[in-house]
Structure 1
Amino acid sequence: MVKRVQIGELAASIRIEIETPTVLKALITKDAVDELDIDIGDEVEAVIKATEVMIAKE
């Protein structure tokens, strides 16, 4: 469900609520894991490129 829409001159940002529990899987480089010092239990934020996500209405 869309929770917020912010429209700028060239782009728009939307906030979408997803059902929980939800698990996202990401493929990142080993270097990224090392640089971010990612470990099990860490809280992270996922940023999804618009070219990789489709938004649709039922």
Structure 2
Amino acid sequence: MSRIQDAKPEKWDDLSRINHAKYQQSLRSMLCKSHHSAVSAQRDQQYSALLQLLLQR
């Protein structure tokens, strides 16, 4: 393992950097999607509650 890293350290660093960037990007998009879905679900709950209140009158 260390022998491979010693052979081409700069190449290895580039690969790990690229992979890390991709990982960060995918993680961020996943978090954004989950947050968005949570917000929209909350909004749907609020709308349904309002509709029920209007219908009860």
TM over 0.5: no
* TM-score normalised by structure 2 residue count: 0.20
Q: Whose helix fraction is larger, Structure 1's or Structure 2's?
A: 2
* TM-score normalised by structure 1 residue count: 0.20
Q: Whose strand fraction is larger, Structure 1's or Structure 2's?
A: 1
